[in-house]
Amino acid sequence: MRFRTTQIHGGVEPDPTTGAILPPVYQSTTFVQPSVEEYMAKGYSYSRTANPTVRVWERKIALLEGGHDAAAFGTGMSAINAVFMAFLNAGDHCIVSDVAYGGTYRLATKIYTRFGVEFTFADTSDPGAVATAIRSNTRLILTETPANPTLKYTDLAAVSEVARAQGIPHAVDNTFLTPYYQRPLELGADLVIHSTTKYLDGHNATVGGSVVSATPELHEQVAFVQNATGSIMSPFVAWLTLQGVKTLSERMDRQSDNALKIARFLESHPKVTTVRYPGLESFPQHDLAKRQASGFGAMLWFEVEGGREAGIRIMDSVRLWTLAENLGSVESLVTHPVTMTHADVDETERARVGITDGLIRLSVGLEDADDLIEDLAQALERA
Ligand SMILES: *Cc1c(COP(=O)(O)O)cnc(C)c1O
* Ligand 1 pocket, Cβ-based, cut-off 6 angstroms: 75-77, 101, 103, 144, 148, 173, 175-176, 195, 197-198, 207, 209
Question: Where are the chain's structural domains?
Answer: 3-246, 247-382
Residue ID of nearest Cα to ligand 1 atom 7: 76
User: Which atom number of ligand 1 is nearest to the Cα of residue 208?
Assistant: 7
15: CA distance to ligand 1 center in Å?
32
- Cα 189 to Cα 174: distance, rounded to the nearest angstrom: 11
Q: What CATH number belongs to 247-382?
A: 3.90.1150.10
Q: What pLDDT is stored for residue 341 in this prediction?
A: 85
pLDDT, tens digit, 9 for 90 and up, residues 181-205: 999 999 999 999 999 999 999 999 9
294: CA distance to ligand 1 center in Å?
22
207: CA distance to ligand 1 center in Å?
9
Q: Which CATH class is domain 3-246?
A: alpha beta
State how far the alpha carbon of 148 is from the alpha carbons of 92, 130, 145, 261, in Å.
Answer: 25, 19, 8, 21
State how far the alpha carbon of 264 is from the alpha carbons of 194, 274, 283, in Å.
Answer: 29, 12, 12
Q: What are phi and psi of 210, to 5 degrees?
A: -150, 150
| Two domains, one topology: 3-246 and 247-382 | no
Q: What pLDDT is stored for residue 281 in this prediction?
A: 97
Q: What pLDDT is stored for residue 343 in this prediction?
A: 87
Task: Give catalytic residue positions.
Answer: 48, 101, 173, 198
pLDDT, tens digit, 9 for 90 and up, residues 104-150: 999 999 999 999 999 999 999 999 999 999 999 999 999 999 999 99
pTM: 0.97
- Measured over the CA atoms of residue 328, residue 76, residue 238 and residue 184, the dihedral's sign is positive
| DSSP H or E run through 351 | helix 347-353
306: CA distance to ligand 1 center in Å?
30
For a mutational test of ligand 1's pocket, the pick from 177, 196, 197, i.e. the residue with the most ligand atoms closer than 8 A to its C-beta, is 197
What residues of the chain score a pLDDT lower than 70?
A: none
Residue ID of nearest Cα to ligand 1 atom 2: 195
User: Which atom number of ligand 1 is nearest to the Cα of residue 100?
Assistant: 13
Q: What pLDDT is stored for residue 47 in this prediction?
A: 97
